[in-house]
Amino acid sequence: MTTVLDKFDRDKHYFSSPYPHIIIENALPQELYNELSKTFPNSEIKKQLPTIQGHTYRYLANDVLYKKTIPVSDKWQKFFEDHTSQNFYDKVLEIFNSDIPYTKQDIQQKVGVRGFADTNYDMVTDTQFVVHQPTKGTTRTTHIDNPQELYAGLLYFKQDNDKSTGGDFEVYETGDVKQVWKLKGREIPEEQHKSLVKTITYQPNTLVMFLNTSKSVHGVTPRINADVDRLSINIIAETNNKRNEFFKLFDTGLR
């Protein structure tokens, strides 16, 4: 089992402020990363799947592992198996343990793949191919993620022929977010005070992972001179029980 967290070193890669997050450059062994990058199925995904908001495509773990809508390489199959596994989920909980504001009873659960095992598990995992077509401006304004989400990771697969700049991950500091624009992807209202803390460059084999809290505000910088797709992998876990109160800590006042 090879995962994006194998090189994790708490002293180098873990940050508690302004919310718990991880940054690892060269996260995967270079040989494995090169093979995955070479076989990233972005062309097939764009041919067979509909866009989201006219510029984004997502191909989910349930499709990769079970429906097999679009064939992927054996290495990609293994990657998706590993990053939706119980072992990986437990590893993430171990890393974030000291900063998780929820009880062990809430989160120390058996997990299954979202869309495939939803009826049998209170927590589900997902790993996703994500393809962003070139577009003016940013694909994601400053926002918080779905309140059902426990953690999210992004592994960047910037293409060799991508000469653009931007598409970088931004970490913001705010107070607790009480309201968001739900129909705008949980965008933070202009009146919400926020300050940029750091920017993680969109570059090959870079991992950003964060614990989803009411302060986990982030965004993506606009890409400049982009003429090829922006490629990445999403790695997430979320509650499958929408009635679970601890995931509603900031699911109030949605506009």
So what's the pLDDT on residue 21? 97
What integer pLDDT is reported at residue 183 of this predicted model? 46
pLDDT single digits (tens) 18-27: 999 999 999 9
Give the burial string for 142-165 (b: 16+ CB within 10 Å, else e). Answer: bbbbebbbbbbbbbbbbeeebebe
Domain map of the chain by residue range?
10-248
CATH number of 10-248: 2.60.120.620
Residues 212, 100: Cα–Cα separation, whole Å: 9
How does pLDDT run across 45-97, given as a tens digit for each residue? 999 988 776 679 999 999 999 998 899 999 999 999 999 999 999 999 999 99
Instruction: Say if residues 214 and 144 touch (Cβ distance below 8 Å).
Output: yes
Check residue 245 and give its pLDDT: 46
Residues 246 and 12: their CA atoms lie apart, in Å, by 30
How many Å apart are CA 35 and CA 28, to the nearest integer? Answer: 11
Nearest to 69 by CA among 57, 56, 55, 83: 57
pLDDT at 189: 64
- Residue 171 φ then ψ, to 5°: -105, 125
**Averages of pLDDT over each 10 residues, the chain, 255 residues:** 97 96 98 98 93 84 93 97 97 94 82 83 94 74 80 97 94 77 58 85 98 88 92 94 50 47
Integer CA distances (angstroms), 64 to 60, 192, 237, in order: 6, 39, 17
192/157 Cα distance (integer angstroms): 32
19: which 2 tokens?
């919310």
AA identity, residue 35:
E
